[in-house]
């Protein structure tokens, strides 16, 4: 990745009149803004269908797209919906917060109308889409079954045979729920049709998309239900242990994620075929893949199933370069980022060095006066990505208000400024000046937003993933300011530079 810069903004945070950001007009407008601002990258969060807690890191499928992101006005333009179909539908009343409850109650009814209006004329294209996405039949049946079984997780379904994914049960329910299965296939077709169009627009305008790939998948997902042999499960497909991280900066009890752990020994037998298919799907969507919790490839924190916190786990060795090397060599046309935050051992450092993937440096972690931090700008290397903060961090303005006095004092001394406003600008400037190949800030940081705009607080189950941009949030003059900064610090998108020169 060449010297450049970008902005982190989830798809869900884009403005729209229908409750959540979509792949429609606001996405195209944001790409236009990135282009005008001299940025090279748009970093987003995972785009899969969300489940428990509305977290994009707990999805019903690692392959599928979130139906909420399907733009309704684009469906109107295609003749699949009318504005009358949207009259009186409650998608939530707050333009700056996603109401996932309202979306769950009302969005699928609208999409069902689009399906009924479009299924006949789009059947040939749909069939081609299904044939080219081998994960889709299992996912669509999984979603149809969830509705059939009152949205209970698959491991609580009343029919043991379908819970255990037995072939005869698959055949039986595929016939019984044929229309519902077709509906879920169709809305994936709509999602990817809009995604491909949006991504092509980004390419045409010189903007790359950095996607986020969680290392783990959700227990209640089509991935685990249809591939139980890939995970550490007992004979009833119940986890033996689940994923998390030990106590750390974010949470004194650690984080109990609850994801099932991979059975890497079995995965190795077919050359990690499931991982190859997974990354192949992501590589078709994104220009760069940020692998979340990369250190889990070296060793992972396994918590006995049923524990209430992550304290009583243990480290288990992972596949390390045996898997990472296969992925980077197999997908040599895709760039990867190793999310290397958290507890890093010499073995983890060696894995990242051996992989030659860029690391992450977070400026909000840099100014601890009692430690010699690798996150301080003068310690950055070129093969890294510098962030003000990630989606798990406070926006920079909130951090400045809540950081320990000693951190603020050290930051002021290090950056040679005094006062919150000056420090805010100095931290952004330090990131732009850094030797890191790429600098990325949250959109909230460029807008100087505070605590109400935080994306996620790790270790909490509710109130996250809700923040949205208001329609007029980005001032007209911001693009020029960011463009000038990118030019001064040698991060100007080369495609933009060609145009302006």
Q: Are 439 and 384 in contact (CB under 8 A)?
A: no
Distance CA 305, CA 313 (A): 10
| Look-up of token digits 């450092």 | 349
Measuring CA to CA, how many Å separate 231 from each of 251, 263, 266, 298, 350? 27, 5, 9, 17, 26
Distance CA 326, CA 338 (A): 15
For the chain, state the CA radius of gyration. Answer: 23
Place of tokens 């790939």: 213
36-to-27, 72, 477, 483 alpha-carbon distances in Å: 14, 27, 10, 7
Q: Which of 378, 377, 207, 373 is nearest to 287 (CA)?
A: 207
Cα 311 off chain centre by = 26
Query: Which tokens sit at 286?
Result: 């994104």
8 Å CB contact between 55 and 47: no
With DSSP H G I counted as helix, E B as strand and the rest as coil, what are the percentages for the chain, rounded to 5? Answer: 45, 15, 40
Q: Which residue numbers are catalytic?
A: 292, 339, 392
């Amino acid at each position: 990745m060449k010297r450049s810069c970008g902005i982190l903004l989830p798809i869900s945070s884009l403005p729209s009149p229908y409750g959540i950001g979509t792949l429609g007009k606001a996405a195209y407008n944001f790409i236009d803004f990135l282009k005008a601002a001299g940025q090279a990258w748009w970093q987003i969060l995972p785009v899969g269908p969300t489940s428990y807690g509305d977290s994009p890191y707990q999805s019903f499928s690692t392959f599928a797209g979130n139906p909420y992101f399907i733009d309704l006005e684009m469906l109107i333009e295609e003749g699949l919906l009318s504005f009358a179909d949207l009259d009186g539908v409650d998608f939530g009343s707050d333009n700056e917060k996603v109401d996932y409850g309202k979306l769950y109650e009302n969005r699928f009814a609208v999409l069902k109308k689009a399906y009924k209006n479009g299924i006949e004329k789009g059947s040939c294209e749909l069939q081609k889409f299904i044939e080219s996405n081998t994960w889709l039949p299992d996912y669509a049946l999984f979603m149809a079954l969830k509705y059939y079984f009152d949205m209970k997780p698959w491991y609580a379904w009343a029919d043991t045979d379908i819970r255990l994914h037995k072939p005869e049960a698959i055949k039986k329910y595929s016939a019984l729920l044929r229309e519902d299965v077709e509906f879920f296939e169709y809305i994936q077709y709509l999602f990817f049709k809009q995604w491909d169009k949006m991504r092509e627009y980004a390419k045409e305008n010189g903007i790359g998309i950095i996607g986020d790939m969680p290392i783990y998948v959700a227990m209640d997902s089509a991935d685990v239900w249809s591939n139980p042999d890939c995970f550490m499960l007992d004979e009833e497909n119940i986890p033996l242990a689940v994923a998390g991280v030990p106590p750390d900066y974010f949470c004194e009890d650690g984080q109990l994620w609850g994801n099932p752990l991979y059975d890497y020994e079995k995965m190795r037998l077919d050359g990690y075929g499931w991982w190859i298919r997974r990354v192949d799907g992501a590589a078709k969507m994104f220009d760069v893949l940020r692998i979340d919790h990369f250190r889990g490839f070296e060793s992972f924190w396994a918590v006995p199933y049923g524990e209430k916190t992550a304290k009583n786990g243990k480290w288990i060795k992972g596949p390390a370069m045996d898997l990472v090397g296969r992925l980077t060599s197999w997908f040599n046309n895709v760039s990867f980022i190793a999310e290397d935050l958290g507890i890093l051992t010499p073995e983890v450092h060696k894995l990242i060095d051996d992989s030659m993937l860029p690391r992450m440096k977070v400026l909000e972690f840099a100014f601890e006066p009692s430690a010699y931090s690798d996150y301080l700008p003068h310690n950055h290397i070129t093969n890294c990505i510098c962030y003000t903060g990630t989606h798990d961090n406070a926006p920079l303005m909130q951090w400045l208000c809540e950081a320990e006095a000693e951190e603020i004092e050290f930051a002021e001394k290090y950056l040679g400024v005094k006062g919150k406003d000056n420090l805010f600008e100095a931290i952004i400037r330090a990131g732009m000046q850094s030797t890191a190949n790429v600098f990325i800030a949250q959109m909230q940081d460029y807008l100087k937003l505070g605590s109400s705009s935080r994306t996620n607080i790790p270790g909490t189950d509710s109130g996250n993933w809700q923040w949205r941009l208001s329609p007029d949030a980005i001032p007209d003059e911001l693009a020029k300011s960011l463009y000038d900064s990118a030019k001064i610090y040698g991060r100007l998108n080369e495609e933009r530079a060609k145009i302006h020169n």
